[in-house]
Structure 1
Amino acid sequence: MINRRKTLALAGVTLAASASLVAWAETDGHPYDKLVEMGYPAPQEGELVHVPPTMADLEAADMKPQTKAVIRRGYDLFTNTQQLRGKNVFNDMNCSSCHLGEGRQPFSAPVWPAAVTLPNFRGKNQHVNNLEERIAGCFAYSMNGTPPAYGSDDMLALSAYHQWLAKGAPVYPDQPIYGRGFPSPERTDELSYTNGEQLFADNCAVCHSEDGSGLYQDGEYVFPATWGDGSNNWGAGIVRTYTAAGFIKNNMPLGQPLSLSDQEAWDIAYYMTQQERPQDPRYTGSVDEVLEKFGPTFHKHSSYGQEREVDGHRLADHANWGEKGEEVKPWNVGQPRFEDLDVE
């Protein structure tokens, strides 16, 4: 049950978020001028600056109605991925939980760059990935689920939406992309679990609950879980402390981006990424085996397998798979590609 204070606060952040998400796109000048006014860095000379088209632009576009319908379906899946709950999604996430502003928002990992930079090599799975495979990874890790099949209607629709957002951007750009990813704030020398816990309670719990379980209102999903069974698993990108710090600094609290100091963003990220969540799908029965394979790369930036400073608990030393249980296996994890291809 949500008390009155929390309901009012929730309404406030929702309205503020709505305003901030559209503010950069609805301006008389260049859309990114508004971002600079909000405190984000200005585009640098030589950077690729792209303003993704909107769904209103889609309606006005000279395209086949069947194509528009598929892109609309992709948008619907992207913003309400929970409709695939129990089939492909086994936690409380939507794609738009991490990629804010319908996947269009700069500094919130806008998704259009994937459509123009892939196929490309990805360090996470050590081979060249195409767009479908990149989307599939989000289902396996961020959604703690298993992806739609390559070439399926749902995968085609999601790919089409990504490519729609990239309309007009060059393929394989040579220049860096403005607003890409979750740029990390300057790393502080020391991180404080205790300070992060208090900052989370003060700034984050109103939307994500004090236990990190997220927020449902009248049975409807509102805000995602930040840890626990309803959150992403130990293989998701945002469990890396620097990625979480970048997301928090640039986007949180919702409607108040850039309001936290670098130290505050890092401390909250450190606290959040030292909480338990479902197991990494690459787990084969031993945390140490996962660390042997991925400790030098992906998990060197996470708390996976570390002992939590406050109580000595070894993180991720469990076989908890969350809602999906042990039976659901993401079919895309651990699938090698181009093994017979010589690389100099």
Structure 2
Amino acid sequence: MKKVLIAALWLGAGVAQAAQIAMQDQSQLKVPGSQATPVFVPPAESELPDNAFGQMVRQGHALFVDTRRLMPEAVGNGMNCSNCHLDQGRMAHSAPLWGAYPMYPAYRKKNDKVNTYAERIQGCFQFSMNGKPPAADSPQMTALSVYAYWLATGTRTGVETPGRGYPEVPQPKDGYDFKRGEQVYNEQCAICHGGKGEGQKVAGEYVMPPLWGRDAYNWGAGMHRINTAASFIKHNMPLGKPGSLSDQQAWDVAAWINRHERPQDPRLVEGSIEKTRVKFHANDGVNLYGQKVEGVLIGQGTGG
């Protein structure tokens, strides 16, 4: 974390039929197997053709790595797409685009519907970016989708490629500890993300993303789950030293980060944290939304 912190239900009578079909739930992905370098290697930029397609891929790449500056109308915090999908969406075990694109359309438990790839990106804008999702047929969405399509060149549709997602890190038998997590954060993360999770800016632009506060991902983002954040941290942080933290350290620091306030879940039900917790968070991995920690209710939002 020294550089950046920081991934099929049918209608009517079809529901019963869907229950008998193994449908991949994209909202809490589990990636089996080892973490050896995957066989698949996405294409290099030098392979891009000098035509309209190549230009569109380059546009998508620019939006992906500089999202906040190029799409201010859609991004409501200090994040770029590349903050969660490292190495410009190429890195294995960091939810690479080449692992995601070929698996859509797919059912997601998060919104209880079959999502297109465009809808999946829209969810990222709504939650991880705390913003306003661009229209599915907008030029920006088209460019982002084309970039992901190009990175997936050579993969097989509907077949999970090794290296996809954030590999699961089982919860330690003793759970997590905030105090230990704070120590890990101060020693491994604060140098880049700030002592108060505020991130780092250069010339007014974030170069290291905030992890909590008004410019971080909101309470609806997948990263608010302690188990998801622990998996990302374990396999990607500190930057350049993936796997250097133990499972326990990853869970502890993920819990410490996610006990802090951030923008409210945009799905807030009738202004009620408890109703929102029951509907969206009670069965959504390990999270603190709507719980009290040291007498303070978590999930009130930053108001920003």
1:250 Cα deviation after fit: 0.7
1:220 Cα deviation after fit: 3.1
1:1-344 correspondence to structure 2 within 5 Å: 41-42=35-36, 49-58=39-48, 61=49, 65-84=51-70, 86-173=72-159, 176-190=160-174, 191-284=176-269, 285-298=271-284, 300-308=285-293, 311-318=294-301, 320-322=302-304
Distance 1:234 1:54 in 2: 36
Give the number of equivalent residue pairs: 273
The question of whether the paired residues in 2 share the 8 Å contact of 1:108 and 1:247 is answered with yes
Q: Which runs of 4+ in 1 moved over 3 A?
A: none
Q: Percent identity?
A: 44
Counterpart AA for 1:42: A
How much is the aligned-residue C-alpha RMSD, in angstroms?
A: 1.9
Secondary structure of the 1:259 match is coil
Secondary structure of the 2:77 match is coil
1:185 Cα deviation after fit: 2.3
The question of whether the paired residues in 2 share the 8 Å contact of 1:207 and 1:223 is answered with yes
1:84 Cα deviation after fit: 3.8
Distance 2:133 2:272 in 1: 24
Where does the alignment leave 5 or more consecutive residues of structure 2 unmatched? 5-33
The question of whether the paired residues in 2 share the 8 Å contact of 1:85 and 1:91 is answered with no
Distance 1:126 1:146 in 2: 20
Distance 2:237 2:129 in 1: 21
CA displacement 1:29-82 (0-9 Å, x = unmatched): xxxxxxxxxxx7337xxxx84211122222xx4xx6111111100000000001
Distance 1:120 1:52 in 2: 22
Distance 1:57 1:316 in 2: 46
Secondary structure of the 1:146 match is coil
1:273 Cα deviation after fit: 1.0
1:292 Cα deviation after fit: 2.2
Secondary structure of the 1:216 match is strand
Q: Per the alignment, do residues 86 and 220 of structure 1 end up closer, same or farther by CA in structure 2, a change over 3 Å counting?
A: closer
CA displacement 1:131-169 (0-9 Å, x = unmatched): 100000000000000111111100000000010011111
Counterpart AA for 1:239: H
Counterpart AA for 1:55: E
Query: Larger Rg: 1 or 2?
Result: 1
Secondary structure of the 1:204 match is helix
1:317 Cα deviation after fit: 2.8
- State the TM-score, normalizing by the size of structure 1: 0.75
The question of whether the paired residues in 2 share the 8 Å contact of 1:216 and 1:222 is answered with yes
- State the TM-score, normalizing by the size of structure 2: 0.85
The question of whether the paired residues in 2 share the 8 Å contact of 1:184 and 1:249 is answered with no
